[in-house]
Amino acid sequence: MSSVSISSATRTLPVSRDAAFKGVLILATFVFDVVLIASLGLWFPLDDLIRPLLTATVLSGVGLWYLRRQEHGFVMCLLSLTQLVLFTSAYTVLMYAVAAVNMPLVDPYLAGFDQMLGIRVDRIAEWTARIPMLSVPLGIAYDTVMLQTAAAVVVLGFANRRRELEGFVLQFMLTTLTCAVLFVLLPADGPFITYDYAPNEAQQRFLHDFHEMRSQQRTLVTWRDAEGLITCPSFHTTWAILLAWAFRGVRYARWPMLLLNVLVVASTMTTGWHYFSDVVSGALLAVVGIVVVNRLQPWLYDEDNRPRPMSV
């Protein structure tokens, strides 16, 4: 996909179709939060609105200032960060809220798929743990996706790769929302319960929050101190593929980021977090997200790769 200079679209930046569509997704996520909180008897501390809204306000204000100074790369970074701050705050609440729906666990089916292929995640995790030269870098790689996301915003923004950056953020939003829908239907404990091996501290926190929400012993939903609750599909896998795809046009970063994200995908099993079936479904979700956003490109951009304004 070719890139387009951000400077070619200064006038349409605040009201582009891409920005408007993302605004609708963010608003829809907030609305679903309110509906689920009200219908499931949950509660959200209103004070927790302050930080994401204040952060978004500051980022937007700085972005408008630098837009006047024609610092288009920095403006693109700030706009993407604003969208991600608002969306991830709302999405985290949504993830916790849908956990309270408490559908039957699907671990037997996920493990059954793995075993049909002769794959046992517990054996993979145990084997990796015996080789520190593998387990340590894989464990580190697993925790890099948020840092990589920040890097994607900065690198793509300052490289004037508007379409790649906007595409990545839109892919991220659409795939995470799809994950939330699938989470309602496919809740799972994870392989550490199925295969009865000791979960690490992060996995223990996940199990604690997951089961407290399912049993409604906990009714608080917030982005504070949140854990990832979705086992299937593996969003780490989805996220890693989206990141590798986002960097594909950056020559000096393309291959290092591809290698790093191959490690991220591998680490989903070597750390014991996910079944292989989770990884497969996460990879399929990433492909679907990329294809859908690519299909939206003619609606979002004109023939000269300029962003279409919302009014057109």
DSSP 231-300: -SS-HHHHHHHHHHHHTTT-HHHHHHHHHHHHHHHHHHHHTT---HHHHHHHHHHHHHHHHHHHHHHHHH
164 token code pair: 């790649």
56-70, 79-93, 294-308: which is most confident = 79-93
pLDDT digits (tens, 9 = 90+) for 281-294: 999 999 999 999 99
pTM: 0.92
The answer to whether residue 12 scores a pLDDT higher than 50 is no
pLDDT level of residue 66 (50, 70, 90 thresholds):
confident
pLDDT given for residue 13 in this prediction: 47
Residue 133: count other Cβ atoms within 10 Å of its Cβ: 7
pLDDT digits (tens, 9 = 90+) for 173-190: 999 999 999 999 999 999
The answer to whether residue 8 scores a pLDDT higher than 70 is no
In this structure, are residues 86 and 26 in contact, taking their beta carbons and an 8 Å threshold? Answer: yes
pLDDT given for residue 1 in this prediction: 42
pLDDT given for residue 309 in this prediction: 84
Q: How far apart are CA 152 and CA 291, in angstroms?
A: 20
pLDDT given for residue 95 in this prediction: 98
Where are the chain's structural domains?
A: 6-300
pLDDT given for residue 79 in this prediction: 94
pLDDT level of residue 65 (50, 70, 90 thresholds):
confident
pLDDT above 70 as % of the chain: 95
Q: Classify burial at 151, counting beta carbons within 10 Å of its beta carbon; exposed 0-12, middle 13-18, buried 19 or more.
A: middle
pLDDT given for residue 137 in this prediction: 97
3-class state of residue 218 by DSSP? coil
pLDDT above 90 as % of the chain: 83
Name the average pLDDT for the chain. 92
Lowest mean pLDDT among 20-24, 273-277, 299-303: 299-303
Gyration radius of the chain's alpha carbons: 20
Give CA separation, 230 vs 54, 98, 106, 176, in Å.
Answer: 28, 10, 12, 10
302 token code pair: 């004109």
- Determine the residue type at 191: P
Distance from CA of residue 217 to its chain's centroid?
Answer: 27
The answer to whether residue 5 scores a pLDDT higher than 80 is no
Question: Considering Cα of 232, then 294, then 162, then 3, what sign does the dihedral take?
Answer: positive
pLDDT given for residue 32 in this prediction: 97
Q: How far apart are CA 193 and CA 111, in angstroms?
A: 11
- Determine the residue type at 86: L
pLDDT level of residue 303 (50, 70, 90 thresholds):
confident
Report residue 216: phi and psi, to 5°.
Answer: 60, 25
Q: Mean pLDDT across the stretch 273-278? A: 97
Q: Classify burial at 147, counting beta carbons within 10 Å of its beta carbon; exposed 0-12, middle 13-18, buried 19 or more.
A: exposed
The answer to whether residue 165 scores a pLDDT higher than 50 is yes
Q: How far apart are CA 186 and CA 229, in angstroms?
A: 11
In this structure, are residues 54 and 114 in contact, taking their beta carbons and an 8 Å threshold? Answer: no
Q: Measured between alpha carbons, how far apart are the two ends of the chain, in Å?
A: 23
Place of tokens 């295969």: 195
Q: Mean pLDDT across the stretch 208-228? A: 95
The answer to whether residue 6 scores a pLDDT higher than 50 is no
The answer to whether residue 128 scores a pLDDT higher than 70 is yes
pLDDT given for residue 10 in this prediction: 41
